[in-house]
Structure formats: structure tokens, C-alpha cells
Copies of this chain bind each other. A is one copy, B any other.
Amino acid sequence: MEEDTRNIKALKMLAIDAISNANSGHPGIVLSVAPMLYTLATRHLVVDPTSPKWINRDRLVLSAGHGSALLYSHLHLSGFDVSINDLKSFRKMGSRTPGHPEFGVTPGVDATTGPLGQGLGMAVGMAVAQKRLEKQFGKLMDHNTFAIVGDGDLMEGISHEAAEFAGINNLNKLVVLYDSNEVSLDGPTSRSFKTNERQRFASYGFDTFLVEDGDDIDAIDAAITKAKASPNPAFIEIQTIIGEGAPNEGTNKVHGAPLNDEALSVLEDNLDWHLAPFEIPAEIEASFHEKVGDRGIAAHQAWEKEFDASSDKAEILRDFGSNVKVDESKLETFKVGTAAGGRNIGHTALNDLAKQVPNLIGGAADLASSTKTEITDGGTFSADNPLGKNIPFGVHEFGMSTIMNGIALHGGLKVFGSTFAVFSDYMKAAIRLSALQKLPVIYIFTHDSIAVGQDGSTHQPIEQLAGLQSIPNLNVVRPGSPNEIVSAWKMAVESVDRPTVMFLSRQDIVELPSDNSATLLEKRGGYVASFEKGKLSAILMATGTELALTLEAQKELEAQNIFTRVVSMPDQAKFMQQDVLYRESVLPNNQRRRIAVEMGSSLGWANIVGLDGKIIGIDSFGKSGASDVVIENFDFTVDDVVAEVKNLLFKMEKVG
């Protein structure tokens, strides 16, 4: 017990030292959460500091990511490759100890957290993956998932979506530790909620526990032990004092600013800790190594033996490897003349891929029957059927996205999720975290334009495509033909470190004759779909169903002796990354008669069209009406495109 007390002090002070040295960070959570993290790490968490990516490790998500210093302190003391120098570089440029935990940057960090609430969602996703894989591979995949959440996490709506999903799917190996300190950034939480959180989590189907004294590590230990054994997901409320031991303990003043010298000295006196900054006695490090590292290493070694002996080893290695290679010859492609809903073509492509990629799973936010993303005969994921490949995410768009991120972070599975394009808005913050964490998850957004029709402006995406294109490290694809859809799906499944967003139509998309293969999408992002049949007057560019529209307009113009080129540009960002020679072959720099046609915000096209061309887009909200009437009303007809081309040519002629 004395050893534990001493160790907890070290855990706290090392984090406080890092914050003081950086002169930036959050001491409050360090001092309230240290005892629970210590108890978890030394008595329960099964991790191997020498092999932080061991696939059957327990997952630990600090959803309250502003507690990063504490997490780094734990990682250092427990023997992960996080040195004292790394702690001294806390929050400094280029360090492996950034201001909030970042997956891929720091060994032992299982998720990027900081945007509140999403850590809980990702932990739920990890528990989904674990549940499925344990059903598949037995005790080789029997680990727990722990999430540490704060008041801020639980105020976020995502906590509801994630917890509701965990409840119905009975993710029994999920344990949530709630740092209940009744203070958030602006003051006591009594200003912003009076929610009985245990009652709330019970309403979802969690088993709930209360630890009244956050310093009582035996009580925390007992609660975690019960939580792990409970047949349901577990929620442990641990009542703590924010910034405990510092002068402003129990108030928001200790939340987000480093302690000044005087406050630091008070804390050191209260903890009876009088060592130089970053000084940790060797016996403390040894104690941590024994309690966390040695236990974890032994567990890992035992696991490796079983793994080596397992007949599942090859399959597990394959599934946890990142390289999916698709046999293209086994994917159905579509003949010229094919006309079908983009979502239906997507369904065919998905199912062809699912046959080749057995660990491909996914679902919809209660719109599977509309987005057509069911894996036929894949079964439905549920508490009773964790092997079901179709996940009924519920009307939880944001939850779905965080769960997808969690599944991808866990490893072993390839995941997709779908909803209507307009509802991607609900998921924006999580799509950003997919991209930031380099997770190759797949978003299928159908009903991708005003062609949605009757449901009206609330259901018609306008700005969503452009908005998503602004996110770094994200593939955004709006395929222009059935075969482009197949290519886009293949590209998405093979992606290693970039998430993919795919926009698909509800209405028919048509396979028209092309001068180039649609598979160029994968390599080039954009290509010439139809060359000019005479002296080039203008270049038309389009995505989605508007590609067919421009091809028809090209023909009509041809009949009038105006020769145009049609460029299919399903993945703008990829096209822009091509070498200048290729880009020049598609869009000659001196050809400024450029017309883009897309039923959405013009914002995303100016970088290709320039100041002298014309963007036929939509910069107002949509309208409720029959699909074809709405499309006509917004001037997306062959006649309109032809007229715009001629207008532009006339204008440019005049300019000279």
C-alpha cells in the first residue's frame, strides 16, 4: 500500500513536471485520475510495453485527451518507449508527446483523443472488433477495452450514441471509468447538467458501479474486477477531486493552466514529494515495470505460444496485415448501356469485394435499405451473433463513425459505414479523426444530390462534397459511371492509410462509351472520358451522374460543330497530385475554356476551372419536388449545359 501511494505520487508528479516544463497543459485531470489509472494499469491492464502493438493487448482509451501528460507519465513509468526526454519535450514541436494523445505518434497510445466524447465512441468500436474476433478466434482475442472519460465526454451527444450501441450489443468487455469530479472548464458542472450518469448508463443496459473515494485504490480495484466479470458493458463512476492537492483543488481554476511555482510548492508539500523535476527514484520505476510491464510481458509470451500453435495464425496475421489486394478479374464490370442506381451498383461492388475480403464488415445508420450496403448472407451483428457482417448502427451517424474508427484502430477488420450524403454533416468531427489517424475506413454516402427530390432541402446535399474535400488526408470520390463505382470501391478497400468517402446516387447512373478505362480513377483521379472530335473549343468536366449529362452535351455540341472534350474527375485531389505532364495531357494549361458540371457547391471546382471558365454548380439550398423537376429547375439539362458552353465561348471570343 505504501508502495502504491508512493507510485501514484510519482505518476502524478512526473505528469505535473511535464506540464510545468512545457508551461502548458492540464494539471486538474492528472491529479484526479492518477489513482484510477494507476489501479487499472498495475492490477488489470494487460499490455506489453516492449510490444505496444501486440494484437491481444487490452485497449486503453483516454477519452479525456487533455490528460495526455498523465498518460505519457504512465507510459514512461511502465516501460514503454517514452523517455524522460520525451516528457521534457511535452507539447513541443516534433515530439512524441503532443498536447493531446495521437495514435501513431506515441507507443502505447491506442487512439487520438481530445475532441471530447469521441474516445468513448472509439472504445466502443474496439470492443465491437474484439467481440467479433473473440467469437472467431477464441481466447486469442479475449482482451478488455477500457475507456477513461470525464464530465466533458459525457456531456457530448456522442456519449449517448456510443453507449446506446454498446448496450444493445452487449459489449461486455468494455469498461468505462468515469472521472466524476463535477468540474469542467467554465466552472462547476452543476451549471450545465444534473444528470444522474449511473441512471443514464443503466438505461442503456450497462452494469453500473460507484466508487465514492477516487483515492481508494482497493475500491477502484474491486469495482474494475466486478466490471470485467459483469455480463454487460460496465460503467464505473469514480468520484474524484479535480486538481487534488493543488491550491485550487475542486475548482475549474486548476483545470487547464500549469501550476505556478507557489501552487507547485503547495502540491509538493501536500504529496510530501521533494525531488527535482523529472527525478524518479529507481525503485519506483522498478515497481512499475514489475506491476505493469512484467505482468504484461508474461501474458504476451503465453499468448504467443498459443498463437504459434493455433490453426488460425495465418488468418489472423492476414487480417491484421494492412495489405488487401483485390483480384480485379473477379469483380463484375458493367457494359455500355447499363443504367442503374449508383447505390445499386455500389451494392454489387461491395458484395463482390466481400467475397474476396472476408474481414470486411460494416453497416448503415438505419438506412441500409436505402443505401444498399448490406452484405448478402452476411448476417446481422448483434449480441447473439458477433460474426454478423452487417452492423445495424442505428440512427447514430456520429456514433457509427467513431465506432468505425475504433474498429480500424483495433485492427483485424476492414470497416465501412453508410448514410445519406446530407447526414455526413452529423459525422464531420469523426471523419476528421479518421483522416487524422490515417484509418482506411470507408464512408458510403448515397442520395448524393438534389436528385433526392421530394424529401426536399433538408435531405439534399449541396455543400457536403466540397466540405469533405477540404479535409486533409481523405479520399473523396464521386464516381461518374458504374465502372468507376467498382474502381472506387476497390480503391477504398485497398487503401492503407487514408479513409475514403464515396458519393453515390439514388437515381440511375449510366455506363456510356469512354475513350479511357474507368479504372484510371484509381491511378489518376481524373481522365479524359471522351476526346474532342475536331478542333478543341472547350473542356467539360463532371462527376457522378453529371458525367453522362456532359457526354450528351458534348454530342449535341458536336452536331453544331463545336468540339469539346469531356473529363471525368471523380477524385479531384488525386488528379491534382499527378505529375504535370499527365495533368497537361488532360487539361492543357493554356486551355481556359473550362466548364465544370456538378450538382453541388461550386467552391471545390475553382482550383481546376480557374477565373475564366464556368462552374455549373448549386450555391443555394435544394427544393422539394419530383427528382426530374428539381434537376430541371436547377438547370442541369443537356440544353442548359450546351447553352452555358456557348455563352462561355462567346464571352471568351469577345475578350479575345
Interface residues of A (CB under 8 A from B): 22, 24-25, 65, 91-95, 98-100, 102, 112-117, 151-152, 155-161, 164-165, 167-168, 184-187, 189-197, 199-200, 202-205, 252, 364, 366-370, 380, 382, 392-399, 422-423, 425-426, 428-429, 432-433, 435-436, 453-459, 462-463, 466-467, 469-473, 589, 592, 601-604, 606-608, 610-612, 619-621, 623-626, 629-630, 633
Taking CB as reference atom, which chain B residue is nearest A363? B186
> Which 7 A-B pairs rank lowest in CB-CB distance, beginning with the nearest?
A157-B157, A93-B625, A192-B394, A98-B624, A114-B458, A160-B160, A606-B607
Contact B620 A472 (CB under 8 A): yes
Contact A470 B466 (CB under 8 A): yes
Partner of A463, one of B95, B116, B471: B471
Partner of A203, one of B24, B203, B473, B603: B203
Contact B436 A185 (CB under 8 A): no
Residues of chain B contacted by A190 (CB below 8 angstroms): 168
Residues of chain B contacted by A589 (CB below 8 angstroms): 611
Residues of chain B contacted by A113 (CB below 8 angstroms): 458
Contact A422 B115 (CB under 8 A): yes
Partner of A454, one of B99, B151, B204: B99
Residues of chain B contacted by A611 (CB below 8 angstroms): 589, 592, 607, 610-611
Taking CB as reference atom, which chain B residue is nearest A112? B458
Further 19 A-B residue pairs, CB within 8 A, beyond A466-B470, A611-B611:
A22-B454, A93-B625, A99-B455, A100-B455, A113-B458, A115-B423, A115-B426, A117-B395, A156-B157, A156-B396, A165-B192, A167-B195, A168-B193, A168-B195, A185-B367, A186-B369, A203-B203, A463-B471, A592-B611
- 18 residue pairs A–B, Cβ–Cβ below 8 Å: A91-B454, A92-B625, A92-B629, A98-B624, A99-B624, A102-B456, A114-B456, A114-B458, A155-B394, A160-B160, A185-B366, A191-B392, A195-B204, A195-B205, A199-B202, A426-B428, A470-B601, A606-B610
Contact B165 A194 (CB under 8 A): no
Contact A91 B185 (CB under 8 A): no
Contact B633 A93 (CB under 8 A): yes
